[in-house]
Each structure stands twice: as C-alpha cells, then as structure tokens.
C-alpha cells in the first residue's frame, strides 16, 4: 500500500507542477483542480493504510523535466497517469480514483486535440526576468532565494500537517490542520507560479522522514510558530527591498496571512 501511496504522491506533484508550468490560464486552472483531487486521493489512501494497521511515508520517485511546449508536458502527464492505473486497490476508493483519472485523461485528450493549445513553455528558461518590469539584479536575487526557500517550506508544511491530520481523533486539531493545509496549498501555488514566471520552476526537495514523524507535538508546534515569525520577517524585508508596488503589496498580503497562521498554531497548543 505504501508503494501505491508513493505513486499517488508522484502523480499529485506531476499534475500540480504541470499546472504551474503552463501559461494558459484555462488549462492551468483545470489542471490545478485535478491536482487538488489527486491530493484528496492521497489523503484517503493514507487513511486506508492506517486503518489496515500499515504505514506510509513521503518517499518519492519523480523528476521535473524542462519541457519546452504545452504538448510535451501534457503527453508526459498522460504517460504518468496511465502508468499508475494498475496499482490502485480493487476497492470502492480504488474505483473512485480510477474514474477521476479517466476523466482527467479525457480532458487531456481534448487539450491535445486542439493544436492552438501547443504554446511555448517559459517556466524553465532561467531568464529570471519579472514580467516586463526592470527589477534590479539584487532584487531578482532576493526574490529568487525567497521563492526557493518558501516553496519548499509550504510543500513541507502541506505534507506534515496532512500526516498529523490523519493521526488525530480531536476534531479541533483536525480542523486547524485542514486550515493550515489549505493555506499552504495557496502559498505553494502562488510562489511556484511566480517561479514559473521567472523561468526557474523547480520541485521542492524531498522530505526526510524525521521532518514529519513528530514525537514531541508541543515542541513541533512551538518550532512551527517560530518558523512563521521568521517567514513574516522575510516577507516584510522583501516587500521593503523590491521596488515594485504590486509585488510589495503581495508580500505584505502574505505577511498578514502568516499572522493568522500563528494564531491557528497557538490553538493547537
């Protein structure tokens, strides 16, 4: 069952980062919706694994190749989806997942049938230019470092909170974890789409199991609060250093959201 979970984890990342890489807003949005469905599949698979007295982890086997066109990304995604079909369990959940994947494959076929969808992919071109704005090199460098650090942090938090959520019977804890997962999904999406605009889209590094196997919950939450405080300072510093009103407002917006994340984590204490 852990192998099934790992394969679904890989597929969730494949769909998610395909969405980030594609510029077309309609295709991007639809793929992201399917990615969120794939994440729910992970959640349900994890619950089934624990109910059966087994374990799962966040090991993965995925590379993010630098595709140059939309169709290259879509064709690779089709291969990934088809490759996993035979490993799903022969259960009600397995059937649900298969039918979701079948509908996704139908949608991808529609995309491939329209040649006008085959646009250039710029998410991996390494140009490090922010749209048509002429940001100074030190500002681009600061933005680059921030996005790499924070995209990993949000990916890490999504998985850690999901791991904790499946292991609590306390409804208040469960709800707080869900809020934090949802918020981290939004932040990962925001930061990764910004990385794609800069031409530096990349997968977050893999998690070591000691990151998410929490033995001291109180210490974990207190460390998490300190991380959120540090992230607030990074957002504030970036907002002040980047001479672009739109970007500065965005990082102020993220900074204010981190305030509430801290309050949510205090509830866990």
Query: Which is higher by pLDDT, 28 or 221?
Result: 28
Confidence of residue 93 (pLDDT cuts 50, 70, 90): very high
| DSSP string for residues in 157-197 | HHHHHHHHHTT---HHHHHHHHHHHHHHHHHHHHHHHHHHH
pLDDT at 25: 97
Long-range Cβ pairs for the range 140-145 (8 Å, 24+): 140/198, 142/238, 142/241, 142/242, 143/194, 143/198, 143/238, 143/242, 143/247, 144/198, 144/200
The tens digit of pLDDT for each residue in 138-163 reads 999 999 999 999 999 999 999 999 99
The tens digit of pLDDT for each residue in 194-231 reads 999 999 999 999 999 989 998 888 998 999 899 888 88
pLDDT at 239: 83
The tens digit of pLDDT for each residue in 236-264 reads 888 888 888 889 899 889 988 988 999 99
Q: Are 65 and 21 in contact (CB under 8 A)?
A: no
pLDDT at 268 over 90: no
pLDDT at 157: 94
Helix, strand, coil shares of the chain as percentages rounded to 5?
75, 0, 25
Structure tokens at 173: 């804890």
pLDDT at 269: 86
DSSP state of 120: B
Q: Are 208 and 235 in contact (CB under 8 A)?
A: no
Count Cβ atoms within 10 A of the Cβ of residue 69 and give its class: 0-12 exposed, 13-18 middle, 19 or more buried. middle
Report the pLDDT averaged over residues 86-92: 94
Residue 121 to residue 63: CA distance in whole angstroms? 17
pLDDT at 31 over 90: yes
Question: What pairs with residue 69 in β-bridges?
Answer: 120
Long-range Cβ pairs for the range 167-172 (8 Å, 24+): 167/50, 172/267
In whole angstroms, how far apart are CA 210 and each of 51, 143, 207? Answer: 22, 29, 8
pLDDT at 54: 94
Q: Nearest-CA neighbor of 88 among 6, 199, 174? A: 6
pLDDT at 66 over 90: yes
Instruction: Give me the chain's average pLDDT, please.
Output: 94
The tens digit of pLDDT for each residue in 114-129 reads 999 999 999 999 999 9
pLDDT at 95: 97
Question: What pairs with residue 120 in β-bridges?
Answer: 69
Query: Which is higher by pLDDT, 144 or 268?
Result: 144
Confidence of residue 2 (pLDDT cuts 50, 70, 90): confident
């Amino acid at each position: 069952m852990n192998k099934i979970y790992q394969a679904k984890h890989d597929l969730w990342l494949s769909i998610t980062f395909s969405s980030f890489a594609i510029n077309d807003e309609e295709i991007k949005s639809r793929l992201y919706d399917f990615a969120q469905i794939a994440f729910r599949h992970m959640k349900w698979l994890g619950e089934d694994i624990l109910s059966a007295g087994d374990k799962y982890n966040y090991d993965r086997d995925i590379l993010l190749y630098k595709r140059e066109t939309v169709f290259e990304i879509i064709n690779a995604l089709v291969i990934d989806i088809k490759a996993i079909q035979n490993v799903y369990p022969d259960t009600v959940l397995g059937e649900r997942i298969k039918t979701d994947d079948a509908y996704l494959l139908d949608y991808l076929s529609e995309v491939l049938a329209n040649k006008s969808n085959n646009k250039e992919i710029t998410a991996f071109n390494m140009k490090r230019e922010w749209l048509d704005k002429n940001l100074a090199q030190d500002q681009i460098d600061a933005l680059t470092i921030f996005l790499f650090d924070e995209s990993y942090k949000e990916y890490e938090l999504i998985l850690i909170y999901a791991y904790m959520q499946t292991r609590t019977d306390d409804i208040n804890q469960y709800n707080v974890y869900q809020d934090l997962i949802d918020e981290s999904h939004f932040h990962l999406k925001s930061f990764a789409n910004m990385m794609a605009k800069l031409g530096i889209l990349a997968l977050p590094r893999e998690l070591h199991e000691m990151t998410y196997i929490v033995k001291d919950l109180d210490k974990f939450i207190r460390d998490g609060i300190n991380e959120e405080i540090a992230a607030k300072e990074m957002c504030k510093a970036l907002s002040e250093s980047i001479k672009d009103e739109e970007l500065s407002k965005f990082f102020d917006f993220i900074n204010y959201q981190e305030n509430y994340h801290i309050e949510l984590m205090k509830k866990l204490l």
